[in-house]
Amino acid sequence: MTGIRIIDGQKSALQGVLVIANSGRMLAHSVKQAGYSPLVIDLFADQDTEVIAEQLWQVENLSLAVIQEIVEQVLLSYKIQWVIYGSGLENQPETLVYLAEHFTVAGNNATVCKLLSCKKAFFKHLDALDIRYPDVRFYLPEDTDGWLIKPIHHLGGVGINWCDRKTTEDEYYQKFCLGQSGSVLFCANGQYVELIGYHRQWTIDQRNFSFAGIIQECVLPEYEQHRMQRWLEKLVSCYHLKGLGSLDFIWNGEHCFFLEINPRPPASMMLYPELDLLRAHMTGQLTKVKQYKKIHALQVVYAQQPCEIYKPIEWPAWSFDRPKLHTRIQQGEPICSIMAQEHTAEQALNSLLEKQIIIENNLY
């Protein structure tokens, strides 16, 4: 089985929930917390996921050929109760179709994901729905200054670059918009939508647009929050979105611009431990509970220099996605994720910085 590594867990349960994602730890944790046995397929098989999963498969990609082979193995020992997918699988429509033909799959189907990825038609829909977005081109702009090249299937900003060449058939041009990036986490049932929370998020820098962190903080004035509600109502009605998702936007101080919509559970799901978001994703309905007063924040720690996990590390409880022993990490690659919860956003950001220093000191 080329490109597949099986990590055995305890096979005590005969029923399980299949989790498929580039990184399945977040969803596997939610499944485990809900009392189910997570069977996980992902690309990293980090320490956390290995502990959480009933059984774990590490793969090179989430293509139909790879996933189908593993599912056939799973069914020899387990009955799959349902399937939940995360980042990465929304870009594999053939895999989604196959899974939906055999199992109950939570969230949006392959048709919805394909419609959202057909960018020319999608931006025309945004025009019809009166949803503002930074200027887009599918041909090389005469003056490329201030333009970006964006992959159609990018994840977390990976692959977005300043325009310095012609695009491929899987890319397009978008005008760079200076401002504060943010997102809104929502839950939908195909007709109606409920906003869960607003966030401020940031990238590594203005040369590297990879996702670097997110915090519970609304950067929008109240009238723009109402506009965001209307945008989501239109998009849910148009595309019949279901389950958890997020809408990324940028606020330049005068106008709000739509950037992306993620039709699967996003990283901001981790900022709401008090909510039963797994059930919300399955049912399209959110059960209201009393909110925590603390502000939650999440950050990805990237390697400042090449390193290797050559000895056991006592990872702090507030760290996640921890690499295993003998893992080699190149400069610019993610080491792990860290979380903080404080009474104010400033305190949470300071806490993240302190925790980042602790992680780096442990490694270097």
CATH of the domain at 247: 3.30.470.20
Indicate if 197 and 155 belong to the same structural domain: no
- Residue 320 pLDDT more than 70? yes
- Residue 8 pLDDT more than 60? no
Does the residue 120 lie in any domain?
no
- Residue 47 pLDDT more than 80? yes
| Cα angle: 347, vertex 351, 355; to 5 degrees | 175
Which of 175, 192, 226 marks a domain boundary? 175
Q: How far is CA 41 from the centre of its chain?
A: 16
Does the residue 56 lie in any domain?
yes
Indicate if 345 and 279 belong to the same structural domain: no
* DSSP characters over 241-277: -EEEEEEEEEE-SS-EEEEEEE-S--GGGGG-TTS-H
Indicate if 263 and 330 belong to the same structural domain: no
Q: Taking residues 293-313, report their average pLDDT.
A: 92
Q: Taking residues 267-283, report their average pLDDT.
A: 95
Indicate if 260 and 350 belong to the same structural domain: no
Does the residue 186 lie in any domain?
yes
Where in the sequence is the domain holding 188, given as residue range(s)?
A: 178-283
Does the residue 126 lie in any domain?
no
Domains contained in the chain, number: 4
- Residue 2 pLDDT more than 90? no
- Residue 3 pLDDT more than 60? no
Indicate if 72 and 156 belong to the same structural domain: no
Q: Taking residues 316-341, report their average pLDDT.
A: 94
Residues 229, 234: Cα–Cα separation, whole Å? 9
**Strand, helix or coil for residue 178:** coil
pLDDT of residue 13: 43
pLDDT of residue 154: 82
Does the residue 267 lie in any domain?
yes
